[in-house]
A = this chain, B = another copy of it.
Amino acid sequence: MDSFMQAAIDEARQGLAEGGVPIGSVLVHDGRIIGRGHNRRQQRGSVVLHGEMDALENAGRLPGAVYRQSVLYTTLSPCPMCSGAILLYGIPRVVIGENRTFLGDETHLRECGVTLEVLDDPTCRELMATFIARHPEVWNEDVGR
């Protein structure tokens, strides 16, 4: 397992331990994690802090040039909001744990020139599948259903 995806999974597990949606993400620049985060809907009542958004927020204010040389790792396919944040900041590459339990806006990201790598990781799949089965109402709310 890639150590950066492992860090994203660690974030997802931390979120789960807090009673939250188990999705984690890390922002990597120059071979180093500069931001890490996980979904905060349950923990903070947040509707904007998906895992990817939380990682970006925790990375803090950065010059545009840093984003344009960064890679975002996320345990789940990025939803339209997180995809939009990736496009806003010009992050050129996203590594995705899995996209079977939820397929985000990958088509739009690719059309806009973002390189996506989907790992189809069984740990990421199992984290989401179990959570969705146990808490479908939270999950549906998290993706606006």
Please name all residues of chain B whose beta carbon is closer than 8 Å to the beta carbon of A103 when the two chains form the complex. Answer: none
Residue interface mask A52-89, B partner, CB < 8 A = 1: 01001101111110010000000000011111110111
Query: In the complex, which range does the number of interface residues on chain A fall in?
Result: 20 to 34
Please name all residues of chain B whose beta carbon is closer than 8 Å to the beta carbon of A145 when the two chains form the complex. Answer: 64
**8 A Cβ contacts from A73-116 to B:** 79-85, 87-90, 105, 108
Given A80-B84, A81-B87, 15 more pairs with CB closer than 8 A: A41-B61, A45-B60, A47-B56, A47-B62, A48-B85, A61-B141, A64-B145, A80-B85, A80-B87, A81-B81, A81-B85, A83-B84, A84-B85, A84-B87, A90-B144
